[in-house]
Amino acid sequence: MKITVFGATGGIGRHLVDQAVAAGHEVTAVARQPGRLAGVPVRVVAADLATADPATLRAAVAGADAVLSGLGPRSAVDAGIAARGTGAIVEAMRESGVRRIVVVSAAPVGVVPSPGRPHPPKRDPGDGPLMRFVLGPAIRRVLRRHYADLALMEEILRDSGLDWTVVRPPRLTDKPLTGAYRTAYGRNVRGGLTVSRADVAQLMLHSLDQPESVGRTVGVAN
């Protein structure tokens, strides 16, 4: 399969690249710092999704069977990058005739409002009391700009007409790949507080072979 990975040098993006290459896929890796992929057997495209040239993005996705995006804000300075970057990716995909995209979001986003979804559910059906009443509100308060960005990104995908899947992990860790993560469609995983970046990447890759995941959000946790 021909796969284009955006955010290819990020925490999840690098796992996506390495796992896709190991699985024998033909990978195009899009990154702000392409030098960090030196020696990796992929086609590298240098692009900053905040200011990327549309022609560069079209060239990056042209001929791909699917797009995987690990794009997301790493700090307050990056707030807004997920929505802006995903909007640019969606436009490039439409113009290039590529339909399948899997992106990473975050577990709390299901209850975060966006312009087209101003009144989301007050509680995620997968969250237990600790997450609903203690951890969730505190996390959303501290990271409200990040989650607002991701909520808008999800809205862009819902309106895109593409075959999208959104993966929503809780707190990310750098623990090794286990393959033993739990998943749930349309809700968070009950009692799931953490998941490794490597496991998230594996789920995103596996989602490409799961047509039932198209047009749906997927909760994941170890």
Is the torsion defined by CA of 48, 35, 69, 160 positive or negative? positive
> Once rounded to an integer, what is the mean pLDDT over residues 132-155?
77
Which helix (H) or strand (E) element contains residue 46?
strand 43-46
Which residues is 100 bridged to in the sheet? 163
| Top-level class of domain 2-221 | alpha beta
Alpha-carbon gap, residue 109 to 78, rounded angstroms: 17
Looking at residue 74, its pLDDT comes to 66
**CB contact at 8 A, 168 and 131:** no
Question: pLDDT tens across 3-42, in order?
Answer: 999 999 999 999 999 999 999 999 999 999 999 999 999 9
**Contacts of residue 115, Cβ cutoff 8 Å, sequence gap at least 6:** 152, 155
What pTM was estimated for this model as a whole? 0.93
